[in-house]
Amino acid sequence: MQNSAVFFHKVSMNFGPIRALDRASFTIGRGETVALLGHNGAGKSTAVDLMLGLRRPDEGDITVLGTTPSRAVAAGRVGALLQSGGLPDGATIRDIVRLACGLYGGQRRVDEVLALAGLSELARRRTTELSGGQAQRVRFAIAISGRPELLFLDEPTVALDVEARREFWAVVRDAAQGGTSVVFATHYLEEADQFADRVVVLNRGAVVADAAPSTIKARAGGRTVRCVLAAPDPRRLLALPGVVDVTIHGDDVRLRTVDADRTVETLYASIGGVRDLQVTGAGLEEALISLSSEVPSGKDQ
Amino acid sequence: MWPFMRFEIIRTLRNIKYLVFLIAVPVAFYLLWGRQSGTQDGVQVAALALVAMAVYAATGGALMAAGGGVADDRAQGWLRQLKVTPLGDAQWFAGRIVLGVLMVLPGVAGVSVAALTAGHVHLAAGRWAALIALLLAGSLPFGLLGLFLGLTLRGKTAQLGIVVVFFALTVLGGVIGAGPLPGVWERIRELTPSYGLVQGGNAVIAGHAPTLAQAGVLAAWTVLAGAAVLLRWRRSSGA
């Protein structure tokens, strides 16, 4: 456990009557990128706060980089982009990045951090003149200015549009190269799938799954195949390989399948007349339902 | 702590409100009303005005620099962001207080230059230095008070609270306005830190040390405000 980036063991945390974390356990290896996936209120932000030493758990052990969370933060070995973290008024981007570089003891140069976060052109802007995506990149710049061994990103793209989200992740990937462990909280299954080596799924404070993204997606009820058919016949559709559920609205067909490849193959071969075919992953909603029901839990269900 | 101090000093110097109210206003007041000839108890009136306006700049500067932005920083999550950097709570706290004391200097320097050039104040260098030293030390309770208000009040209320406290102390302490206050207010005046600082300043330029009563009032306010800040800080950082 000493050589893992994070060791999170049987941690419980209550806020009054609300159980934010319920004996949650997971481990983050060095150099690993792990997603904490779950709804709002699933316990993601609480877990991140605990790993940063912002709160203390009611029960359980947390080790970060071989020491306590507070010590790891004080030593400048951890960088964090908090969901509830903000930027100060009356300062320019360069002022803020210079401050961060100074606080972390000059591990990176100011211009280097500005370039990494894609902020070189914006260095003289004030924080009040930034778009949501730009402000998020400034927070990210603060988080990486100490060349951290471990980087926390709590819901980093939650307020961003698709374009800003893609840019943000491109920046993260460039900056996190070279052995940095990354833990990010998200409620987008797609984001976890695209950027994580491993996904820890939280539901109502408990870890309900901990596996590779593709495994999570498969176990989460597979994929959805949508298409338009001239005269859809529910019985024939349900008989297709892999299909577990069929929904029909007029000629609009929606199939849930555990084996999208074979379903689509047979759909074309044996039914035909298929138009506007789309294959998508299952939503987080369905994923959580199916994952939660697989795991025995001591909680009220 | 130095990067944090530098950041906050630059931020304060970029703040128009600070520049206008705590440098331009006392200098303008001095130029309008302070340039009088004549003496009072053997001290130049222009020098007494220097003390009053320097106290104005110092107490306002300390209140605003130490506490001014804290409420907004708290509301916007900036303090939370700082908590996950290597800047410790104790360093943040010390940094704010040092900042409050340091940001006394620009206003005091402005008023001093006005007093030298326009007011023709003749003061031995040693007394001038003693006055500035007294203002730096005496602004500590004001910095603590500003920090307490910044940690306690929210958003715009905090800014307003600091301005209200500042003017209350300025008027009560006799920093602006002349003559005694009616009845019991004159007794209350003697308990305000601003009065203690003005009287102490007047003593210093006349070549005396501040009285024990003046130093005692300032020390008591420092202890009180310091305790209030510590209590507040403990509660808000909640173990």
Within a domain: A299: no
Is the same domain home to A17 and A67? yes
Smallest CA–CA distance, residue B22 to chain A, in Å, is 17
**In the predicted model, what is the mean pLDDT of chain A?**
87
Contact B86 A73 (CB under 8 A): yes
The pLDDT value recorded for residue B234 is 79
Q: Do B3 and A101 touch (CB under 8 A)?
A: yes
Q: Tell me what pLDDT residue A297 has.
A: 42
* % of residues, chain A, pLDDT over 70: 91
Output the pLDDT for position A93.
Answer: 97
More confident residue, A188 or B152: B152
Parallel/antiparallel/unpaired status of strands B43-44 and A150-154: unpaired
CA nearest neighbour of A152 among A54, A21, A22, A19 = A54
**A22 Cβ neighbours under 8 A, 6+ residues apart:** A12, A43, A204, A205, A206, A299
Whether B239 and chain A come into contact, CB under 8 Å, resolves to: yes
Q: Specify the range with the lowest mean pLDDT, choosing from A215-224, A270-279, A281-290, B35-44.
A: A281-290
Residues A80-103 have a mean pLDDT of 93
Interface A–B counts its CB contacts (< 8 A) at 82
Number of domains in chain A: 2
Could you tell me the CATH number of the domain that includes residue A172? 3.40.50.300
- Is the pLDDT at A175 greater than 80, yes or no? no
Stretch A78-96: mean pLDDT, rounded?
Answer: 92
**B-interface mutation test, from A103, A130, A140, A142, most B Cβ less than 10 A away:** A103
Residues A124-161 pLDDT 10s: 999 999 988 899 999 999 999 999 999 999 999 887 88
Question: Would A289 be classed as within a structural domain?
Answer: no
What tokens were used for B19?
A: 């520049």
Task: Clarify whether residues A178 and A234 are in a common domain.
Answer: no
A266 located within any domain: yes
Better pLDDT: A221 or B228: B228
Displacement of CA B61 from its chain's centroid (Å):
5
Give domain status of residue A24, yes or no: yes
Using DSSP, how many helices (H) and how many strands (E) does chain B show? 14, 2
pLDDT tens-digit series, residues B171-218 = 999 888 777 888 888 889 999 999 999 999 999 999 999 999 999 999
Same domain, A239 and A203: no
Instruction: Summarize the confidence of residues A12-24 as an average pLDDT.
Output: 93
Average pLDDT over chain B reads: 90
Domain, as residue range, for A95 = 6-218
Residue B127's nearest CA partner among B48, B50, B205 is B205
B23: closest CA among B93, B31, A134? Answer: B31
**B16 reaches A (C-beta below 8 A):** no
This prediction's pTM: 0.82
Please give the residue that has the higher pLDDT: either B235 or A250: A250
In a domain, A292, yes or no: no
Residue B239: pLDDT band by 50, 70, 90 thresholds? very low
Yes or no, beta carbons of A84 and B10 under 8 Å apart:
no
Residue A273 lies in a domain: yes
Integer Cα distance of B111 and A198 in angstroms? 63
Using the structure block, give the residue that is written with the tokens 């029909």: A248
Dihedral sign from CA coordinates of A272, A275, A281, A282 = negative
Helical axes B125-138 vs B140-152, angle rounded to 10°: 30
- A227 and A168 co-located in one domain: no
Q: Are A15 and A164 in contact (CB under 8 A)?
A: no
- A131 and A187 assigned to the same domain: yes
Higher-confidence residue of B110 and A188: namely: B110
Which of B81, B83, B96, B236 is the best residue to mutate to test the A interface, defined by the most A CB atoms within 10 Å of its own CB?
B81
pLDDT in the model for residue A27? 96
Q: Which residues of A touch B (CB under 8 A)?
A: 52, 54, 56, 73-76, 78, 80, 82, 84-91, 95-96, 98-105, 139, 142, 146
Q: Which residue of B has its CA nearest to A50?
A: B84
Place of tokens 């206050």: B181
Domain boundary among A190, A218, A246: A218
Tell which of A198, A218, A238 closes a domain.
A218
* CA atoms of B107 and B52, how far apart (whole Å): 12
For B5, the closest chain A residue by CA position comes to A99
Task: Look at A75 and B86 and tell me if their CB atoms are within 8 Å.
Answer: yes
List chain B domain ranges: 2-237
Q: How far apart are CA B183 and CA B180, in angstroms?
A: 9
Same structural domain for residues A246 and A148?
no
Say which residues have a Cβ less than 8 Å from residue B98's Cβ, sequence separation at least 6.
B5
- Helical axes B45-67 vs B89-102, angle rounded to 10°: 160
Q: Mean of the pLDDT values across residues B89-114?
A: 92
Domain holding A249: CATH number? Answer: 3.30.70
pLDDT number for residue A284: 62
3-state secondary structure of A141: helix
Residue A189 has what pLDDT?
A: 81
Q: Whole-angstrom Cα distance, residue A123 to residue A97?
A: 9
Q: Would you place residue A282 in the very low, low, confident or very high pLDDT band (cuts 50, 70, 90)? A: low
Quote ipTM for the complex: 0.87
CB atoms B4 and A102 under 8 Å: yes
Question: Do A200 and A157 belong together in one domain?
Answer: yes
Q: Which residues numbered 164-203 in B keep a CB inside 8 Å of some CB on A?
A: none
Find the residue in A nearest to B15 (Cα). Answer: A90
Asked if residue A165 has pLDDT above 90, the reply is: no
- Judged against a pLDDT cut of 50, whether residue A300 lies above it is answered with no
| Single residue among A218, A242, A263 that ends a domain in this structure | A218
Cα–Cα distance for residue pair A154/A161, rounded to 1 Å: 17
Q: How many CB atoms lie within 10 A of CB A123?
A: 17
- B222, B138 contact by CB (below 8 A): no
